[in-house]
């Protein structure tokens, strides 16, 4: 083959291989990698006034149950709700919790939590710590981030349940 | 209990319709009169004071309304989880004090957070009067 044709074949093969490898999104092996979109009007209205909207697939049902049973002491603040609203949100969270969803991230979060543990903080799960082990404590103290609870500061798709690495942008 | 029922009745009846800050002040005025026969109206100055007073909690922490809402109610505030809070003053956020249920919900929570008790109708009215007067 002529030299230039060899070159074109080489470039084409490398590009195709690269494209195939990069298309990692994946829906082929059971659940996809990202959390599925979920919606509930009361959840959105009541659970994102003070912090970003945390997808129910980030914690197991027992964690949500414990949280919804103690809203008057919600991480040091009173987040009390009337019983019907609280119950509806609790049902929604339970139905879409990490132990119910089949996407890979929820599965991994769930498996990283010992059966006897009932974490309220996503950031205290082994999965979270492992995924963030390259982030120094001082990074979290940046004014633009403030704490590990502020997922949306770095994860641009956080409120949609999309924590893919390609959407991570750590602010200064 | 009776006062709570009266206020709930008033609030429920108002819930479907948007209210105005003036209507809310009237409702709280009615309740304040129930709570204290010597009620003499609301004061923006008292409300301003109420807004800024730093209170020391039973756990030693110092908190005031300004902790999250900042000292100037025309500014955006920030929750402890870094979420932006729209300004409290209607001059900056016109939808403030137009939803009685929402107002009561947040008084219910934030009074317990800041004062470690429920607010009186007097305090609620003074607070709203102050914010309504902010230019």
Residue A54 contacts by C-beta under 8 Å, 6 or more apart in sequence? A47, A122, A151
Q: Is A133 on the interface with B (CB under 8 A)?
A: no
Q: A74 - beta bridge partners?
A: A77
Q: Is B82 on the interface with A (CB under 8 A)?
A: yes
CB spacing of A51 vs B79 below 8 angstroms = yes
Q: Is A136 on the interface with B (CB under 8 A)?
A: no
Query: Running DSSP on this structure, what letter comes out for residue B108?
Result: H
Q: How confident is the model at residue B115 (pLDDT cuts 50, 70, 90)?
A: very high
Q: Is B62 helix (H, G, I), strand (E, B) or coil?
A: strand
> B30 vs A8, which has greater pLDDT?
B30
Contacts of A80 in chain B (CB under 8 A): 108-109, 112
Residue A37 to chain B, least CA–CA distance (Å):
22
CB pairs under 8 A between A and B: 37
Contacts of B107 in chain A (CB under 8 A): none
| Residue with tokens 């809402």, as numbered in its chain | B69
- Comparing alpha-carbon positions, the chain B residue that sits nearest to A150 is B81
Q: How confident is the model at residue A32 (pLDDT cuts 50, 70, 90)?
A: confident
pLDDT on residue A65: 98
Range with the poorest average pLDDT among A119-128, A148-157, B52-61, B87-96? B52-61
Phi and psi of A12, rounded to 5°?
-60, -45
């Amino acid at each position: 083959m002529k030299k230039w044709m060899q070159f074109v074949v080489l470039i084409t093969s490398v590009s195709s291989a690269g494209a195939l490898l990069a298309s990692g999104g994946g829906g082929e092996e059971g659940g996809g990698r990202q959390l599925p979109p979920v919606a509930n009007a009361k959840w959105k209205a009541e659970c994102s006034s003070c912090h970003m909207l945390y997808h129910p697939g980030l914690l197991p049902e027992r964690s949500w149950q414990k949280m919804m049973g103690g809203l008057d002491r919600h991480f040091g603040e009173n987040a009390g709700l009337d019983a019907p609203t609280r119950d509806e949100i609790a049902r929604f969270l339970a139905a879409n919790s990490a132990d119910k969803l089949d996407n890979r991230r929820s599965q991994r979060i769930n498996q990283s939590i010992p059966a006897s543990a009932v974490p309220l903080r996503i950031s205290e799960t082994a999965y979270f710590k492992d995924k963030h082990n390259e982030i120094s404590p001082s990074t979290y103290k940046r004014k633009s981030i403030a704490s590990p609870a502020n997922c949306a500061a770095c994860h641009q798709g956080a409120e949609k349940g999309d924590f893919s690495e390609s959407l991570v942008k750590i602010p200064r | 209990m009776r006062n709570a029922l009266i206020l709930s009745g008033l609030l429920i009846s108002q819930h479907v319709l948007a209210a105005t800050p003036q209507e809310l002040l009237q409702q709280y005025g009615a309740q304040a009169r129930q709570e204290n026969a010597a009620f003499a109206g609301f004061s923006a100055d008292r409300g301003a004071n109420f807004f800024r007073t730093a209170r020391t909690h039973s756990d030693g922490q110092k908190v005031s309304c300004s902790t999250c809402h900042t000292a100037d109610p025309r500014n955006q505030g920030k929750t402890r989880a870094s979420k932006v809070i729209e300004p409290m003053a209607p001059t900056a956020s016109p939808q403030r004090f137009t939803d009685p249920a929402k107002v009561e919900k947040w008084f219910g929570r934030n009074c317990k957070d800041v004062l470690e008790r429920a607010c009186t109708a007097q305090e609620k009215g003074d607070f709203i009067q102050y914010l309504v007067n902010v230019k």
